[in-house]
Amino acid sequence: MAIKKRNSLRFGRNKVALFSNLSERLNHIFSKLTNRGKLTELEIKQTMREIRIALLEADVNLNVVKDFIKNVSEKATGEKVLQSLTPGQQVIKIVHEELIELLGSQNAKLNVSSKPPSVILMCGLQGAGKTTLCGKLALYLKSLGKKPLLVACDIYRPAAISQLQIVGKNAGVEVFERGTQAVLKTSKEAIKYAVSQMLDTVIIDTAGRLQIDDKLMNELKELKDATNPSDILLVLDSMTGQEAVNVAESFNNLLDITGVVLTKLDGDTRGGAALSIKSVINKPIKFCGIGEKIGDLEPFYPERMASRILGMGDVLGLIEKAQNLVNEEDLLKLQKNLKANSFTLEDYLTQFENLKKMGNINDLLSMLPSKVTNKLNLNQGGIDEKSLMYNKAIIQSMTLYERQHPEILKANQKKRIAQGSGTSIQQINNLLKQFEQSKGMMKQFNGKNKNKLGGLF
């Protein structure tokens, strides 16, 4: 995606948007479609060829790609599309629908046992992030009002128990461990303990492995028989691409897993594993890890993910983050100021703080529709978050009246502010330009979404 000019929101390389490579390729392909009136079958065939290449380059399973292209082609060459006044939009709509189907159609929730506690058996290869994921899942369940217990059943890896205790402490969840005692005995004792303490969910962290290992796989089957889990979740490193799909097949054949959790999805620009797993093993992706922090775990929503891949954003997900983390009083004040057309740099400063609460700025940007980031001169390459700190310093170096009336700022005042904030006049001008752009965008979103999006920028 072209960048018209470089401003104080500098582009960094340490963070990427989810599936950014695939998203950029598809958006480029579709931009050629939407600029045309009618479409011929030959043009649609050429488009399907380009989509096929984009999916293969994203490391999507070959058979999955073949079926996907076949389904889209059959629907896209129909009379309804060819005779449409907006054939490009019709094709995009078809691709969107097929992507949703490919990703699993709908959000798959955790299974709940009819008699507590519900047992979740976690499995996966060594290095996939399984132990850390156990803590993230426990914190997520706590946010839903659940009372989880973590169980240390990885007795082979050095410091595995200590690691689980650390993530358990960070999540504010108790960890049940019995050292190197046999894992079957430990798991049974843990379930009894959960019942006695009225804990409703038991999350069992099992041993990972460097490769599929008969001994450890048999141990997992024995754990499954002994604990009767409501969920068997396979933790996969999405960065491994098609290898993750091969691992999923092996585990599913032996354990009949109930779902998949993809870790390191924030670092995967391709997306092949996510787009292949459901079709290959017919088991849903239930969660995705989108960062290193203990709270960086999200339920997997196929429709939202498909929209992000196609540059449509995930506004619902962004709203949920705002509602959970942004101070309601600040949000109401902001909405009032927007309505009264009195949005100031003080409000803008509050939004910087809200963004900080909501997580990495680049993750948030990937949830916005591409047309919004285009208007703000942003791309999917990421933003250097230090630039936000400079903007914060600039605003804090202004007087209260200057924050409320930035239009009064003249050369001498800007020079004083630049010296006080350790920045330049050019950076101040860029901030003021961004402020005006954001102000306009916020008004637009606030009007369309009935006061739900005011606190996102």
DSSP conformation class of 406: G
The whole-number average pLDDT for the span 254-283 is 85
User: What was the pLDDT predicted at 444?
Assistant: 61
298 in Cβ contact with 86 (< 8 Å): no
The whole-number average pLDDT for the span 293-302 is 89
User: What was the pLDDT predicted at 164?
Assistant: 95
User: Can you tell me the distance from the alpha carbon of 162 to that of 151, in angstroms, rounded to the nearest whole number?
Assistant: 12
Give the chain's mean pLDDT.
80
User: What was the pLDDT predicted at 452?
Assistant: 43
Q: Mind listing the pLDDT tens digit for each residue in 10-30?
A: 323 334 456 778 888 888 888
Residue of 332 and 103 predicted with greater confidence: 103
375 in Cβ contact with 457 (< 8 Å): no
- Does the pLDDT value for residue 188 go beyond 50? yes
Phi, psi angles (nearest 5°) of residue 201: -140, 130
DSSP conformation class of 408: G
User: Can you tell me the distance from the alpha carbon of 29 to that of 161, in angstroms, rounded to the nearest whole number?
Assistant: 49
- Does the pLDDT value for residue 278 go beyond 80? yes
Going from the C-alpha of 361 to that of each of 182, 264, 365, the distances in angstroms are: 45, 17, 6
Q: Mind listing the pLDDT tens digit for each residue in 164-182?
A: 999 999 999 999 999 999 9
7 in Cβ contact with 430 (< 8 Å): yes
Query: What is this structure's pTM?
Result: 0.70
For 160, counting Cβ atoms within 10 Å of its Cβ (0-12 exposed, 13-18 middle, 19+ buried), the class is buried
Query: Which of 207-216, 241-250, 289-298, 369-378 shows the lowest per-residue confidence on average (mean pLDDT)?
Result: 369-378
Its sign, for the CA torsion 212, 215, 219, 222, is: positive
* Residue 316 banded pLDDT, cuts 50, 70, 90: low
Domains of the chain with bracketed CATH = 20-103 (1.20.120.140), 118-300 (3.40.50.300), 315-448 (1.10.260.30)
The whole-number average pLDDT for the span 19-46 is 80
Residue of 201 and 33 predicted with greater confidence: 201
- Does the pLDDT value for residue 291 go beyond 90? no
Find, among 364, 266, 367, 366, the residue nearest to 315 by Cα. Answer: 367
Q: Mind listing the pLDDT tens digit for each residue in 193-242?
A: 999 999 999 999 999 876 667 888 889 999 999 999 999 999 998 888 78
User: What was the pLDDT predicted at 414?
Assistant: 93
Find, among 9, 6, 4, the residue nearest to 352 by Cα. Answer: 9
User: Three-class SS of residue 234?
Assistant: strand
The whole-number average pLDDT for the span 43-52 is 90
User: Can you tell me the distance from the alpha carbon of 453 to that of 323, in angstroms, rounded to the nearest whole number?
Assistant: 10
Query: Which of 136-145, 234-243, 355-364, 440-449 shows the lowest per-residue confidence on average (mean pLDDT)?
Result: 440-449
Residue of 19 and 160 predicted with greater confidence: 160
* Residue 457 banded pLDDT, cuts 50, 70, 90: very low
